[in-house]
Amino acid sequence: MDTLFNHIKSYVSISDKELSELKHCMKEETYQKNDHLLKANDYAKQVHFIIEGCVRTYIIDYNGNEHNISFSKEDWWFGDLNSFIRNKPASFNIQALESLKVLSLNKDKWDYLLNEIPNFVVYTRSLFRNTMFAHEERILQNLSFTAEQRYKYFIKKYPELLQRISQKQIARYLGVTPEFLSLLRKKIS
């Protein structure tokens, strides 16, 4: 819980009583590498905060090709928010890329925290804002950057993920084939 509490405190001032309330709402869960936490068209029953490990959020297109939308690692929240908040079928698949330890929060507890802890509202508002900015940045890159520019940006922004995520998964994130990514890596180095 300390990891989550420190994360929250980096965004808002929150009392020990409020943190204690939050603690009682969270559930610690573990997953193995390659486990799916969510599949498209299922309903997202939880959102998760990562204590250890890394996940990918991805879609499968009409040709059966996988496209990674995002990666999430320690100290990050993840989930299909549209499904979770609006009780709609999930658009995304979410899979553990490593053994995973998370703190999970179901919808009833989420709503309870939003109603009972005003600082949790401020915290989640900051998270949503940051998520929106990240998605806008990703859309902009996909529409206006070359593959090489996208890869260089990925290296700069997420250097720690290069050692943790396979080249195949990075290629799926960049929208290129693993072979093309290999050529890009040789060119850059």
Three-state SS string across the chain, please? CHHHHHHHHCCCCCCHHHHHHHHHHCEEEEECCCCEEECCCCECCEEEEEEECCEEEEEECCCCCEEEEEEECCCCEECCHHHHHHCCECCCEEEECCCEEEEEEEHHHHHHHHHHCHHHHHHHHHHHHHHHHHHHHHHHHHHHCCHHHHHHHHHHHCHHHCCCCCHHHHHHHHCCCHHHHHHHHHHHC
Does residue 94 form part of some domain? Answer: yes
Which CATH number is 40's domain given?
2.60.120.10
Please give the Cα distance from 54 to 71 (Å, whole number).
Answer: 7
Report the number of distinct structural domains present in the chain: 1
Does residue 7 form part of some domain? Answer: yes
Does residue 149 form part of some domain? Answer: no
Q: 50 and 72 in contact (C-beta within 8 Å)?
A: yes
Q: Tell me the pTM.
A: 0.94
Does residue 159 form part of some domain? Answer: no
Does residue 104 form part of some domain? Answer: yes
pLDDT in tens, 101-129: 999 999 999 999 999 999 999 999 999 99
pLDDT band at 174 (very low <50, low <70, confident <90, very high): very high
pLDDT in tens, 58-93: 999 999 999 999 999 999 999 999 999 999 999 999
Does residue 59 form part of some domain? Answer: yes
pLDDT at 189: 85
The residue segments making up the domain with residue 60 are 2-116
